[in-house]
Amino acid sequence: MFIKVKLEYEEEIDTSKNYLYMPNHVSILDAPLMFAYTPHIINALEAEDHFKWPLYGKIITKWGNIPVNRKNAKSSYTSMMKAKDVLQKRNSILIYPEGGRTTDGKLKRFKKLPFHLAKEAGTSIIPMGISGLYNINHKGSLLFNWGKITIKFGKIISAEEISKMTEDELLLRVRSDIENLISRNS
């Protein structure tokens, strides 16, 4: 399998600061690509069933990823508080605002948890757009094709900007930013 990766940045990322990275969720390859190409060592919020997968579960546990039970609000809140603690220790977090992989290549409805976390933690967000990966591998496909993907790091939404927005306004802003990043990469 050969994948050519192109990285684009709308602005310089200060690696001395921590961020919430928020990309669209396309493929099972997203996580390894994010860990390889984000300029920070990151922890991720990840579906708790992934922690039960034989090899992958051990790897993500060692990385310090945080399990999320997407069907249980109380458990999701506990995971969010763990993520807040990680952010307060100056680490960065990766969270997919869709909560799961797309089935058709388009953005799914966004969950509110990532935006509640951003406001609670007072952390800046970097919206990200991943393009080209759906044709390489997508949910439900066992095939991996050759291809080129673009990972675009959008304009940083500062903690100060976030503090002036409601969670719904923030959700709409990040969604719009990701949609624009994806459409400019296609």
- The 3-class secondary structure across the chain, one letter per residue, is CCEEEEEEECCCCCCCCCEEEEECCCCCCHHHHHHHHCCCCEEEEEEHHHHHCHHHHHHHHHHCCEEECCCCHHHHHHHHHHHHHHHHCCCEEECCCCCCCCCCCCCCCCCCHHHHHHHHHCCEEEEEEEECCCCCCCCCCCCCCCEEEEEEECCCECHHHHHCCCHHHHHHHHHHHHHHHHHHHC
Can you give the pLDDT at residue 170?
98
Q: What is the pLDDT of residues 94-106, one digit of tens each?
A: 999 998 787 787 8
Can you give the pLDDT at residue 75?
81
Can you give the pLDDT at residue 3?
81
Can you give the pLDDT at residue 161?
98
pTM of the predicted model as reported, rounded to 2 decimal places: 0.89
Can you give the pLDDT at residue 185?
55
- Report the relative pairing of strands 124-131 and 147-153 from DSSP bridges: antiparallel
In the chain, what are the domain boundaries? 3-185
From edge to edge, which strands make up the β-sheet containing 124-131? 3-9, 147-153, 124-131, 19-23, 92-94, 42-47, 66-68
Residue 4: phi and psi, rounded to 5, are: -95, 130
Domain 3-185 belongs to what topology?
Answer: Glycerol-3-phosphate (1)-acyltransferase (3.40.1130)
Q: What are the pLDDT tens digits along the chain (186 aa)?
A: 578 999 999 999 999 999 999 999 888 778 888 889 999 888 989 889 999 999 989 998 998 999 998 788 788 888 988 999 999 888 999 999 998 787 787 889 999 999 999 999 999 999 999 888 777 777 777 777 788 999 999 999 999 999 999 999 999 999 999 999 998 655
Can you give the pLDDT at residue 101?
81
